[in-house]
Structure 1
Amino acid sequence: MTSQQSKGPELSELLEHAELEQRSRVVAQVADRDYAYISGSGNVVMGAGNVVKPHEGATEEADQAQLYLSDLERELSAVSMHARRRLLTYRLLRFLALAASAVTPAVALLDAAPFITATIGTVAFLSEGAIQLTRINERAVLDTKRATALNREFRMYRTKVGDYETADRSFTLLVKRVEEIREANDNERLAVVQQSFGAQPTINGPGDARR
């Protein structure tokens, strides 16, 4: 009876010691694993003491791509804001021109002071002149057109639809499309500016600027 009682603690001690050794092995295995993240590829490499360093060229290319996409997002935000402001300004100027033109005959019939009639007429003339001189309505349309085209292309690139679904180098295709949109819009903008100066546009389409 005494012998069986003495074996009980010894057996429990052996089991506890074996459990501790098993836990130590697991901790050691986890501690020996090295994790390396390859930037731009999204792959995690697991090894025993071997760390795979990302290729410098691939890292630089990924950084440039991220910078380009960030600039594109800022451009989209800025162009959209400019389009809204120009459209609001155009509507305000057009309203002033129409309102002043409508009020001028009524003021004249009421025998108002000459300077009042002249002031209202001047407001109508300046408002219409500002629209014609700056062509702000056409520039607002060009801004809206640019923002819409860029946003649609960027959205297709992010969702991998259309030509981006099967393209081997989707980012290269995005850059090509974006630069084509920018070039065409810049040419149209230059033509509007030249027309506001009374000159005939010299650039009519994409690619003419390089000729």
Structure 2
Amino acid sequence: MDMSSQQPETLPQRRTYFRLGIALVVIVVIGLAVTLLPRIFAELRYPLDYEELIVKEGTEHDLDPFLVAAVVYAESRFHPEATSPVGARGLMQLMPQTAAGIAARMGESDYTQSTLYDPETNLRFGTFHLQGLMGRYNSNEAAALVGYNGGGTAGDRYLAGDRASVPRESLRYVEKVQAAKAAYQELYPVRLSTNRDVEQFFEPAAPEPLVNILLRAVQTAVVNRINQ
């Protein structure tokens, strides 16, 4: 083919290429948004904080950190200064009288009600309490959650199969916590792992975001085409 016979591109043609490039960028961005938005919304719905303390206290009290995180979510949505209308306090919403009994059993003589707003103290007491309920109900997670929400008698009835006498609020609480636990397992498998340090050490470096790669490729192609 005689290359000299080819006509040079006109300015309108270059503008067309540029517009096509911009359109491609928009399509890529929209596609990525559609892909990423569900996870973004899921993380907004199920936030996570204090994960190091949750893993530490959960592990020390033989509890699944994902379960502990789900209880914190259901109780306070990770607000350490949360206070309920009936006086429950902190991340795991402990009643002061319950916490006083826990402090006595744990040998913590410096307990005061205000310490329930300390995340580490609240998580330590809350996981101790939940561990006790798991032992009382033979590791039946649902019964332990009923007991955590509705008291020991409600947990006993649930374990015995007398669901009709269990408060509806406690049954809904079990569903809420278990749904949150499943969400945390999907969203934060590394951050709440009991092998978190090892997994993070071997976890490969995060790759460059795909959107940056695609945008740079499109930009280069468009510029090269215009400059030809």
* Fold shared per TM-score above 0.5: no
Q: Which has the larger helix fraction?
A: 1
Q: Which has the larger strand fraction?
A: 1
- Normalised by the length of structure 2, the TM-score is 0.28
* Greater relative CO, 1 or 2 (CA 8 Å, sep 6+): 2
Kindly name which structure, 1 or 2, has the bigger radius of gyration based on alpha carbons: 1
- Normalised by the length of structure 1, the TM-score is 0.30
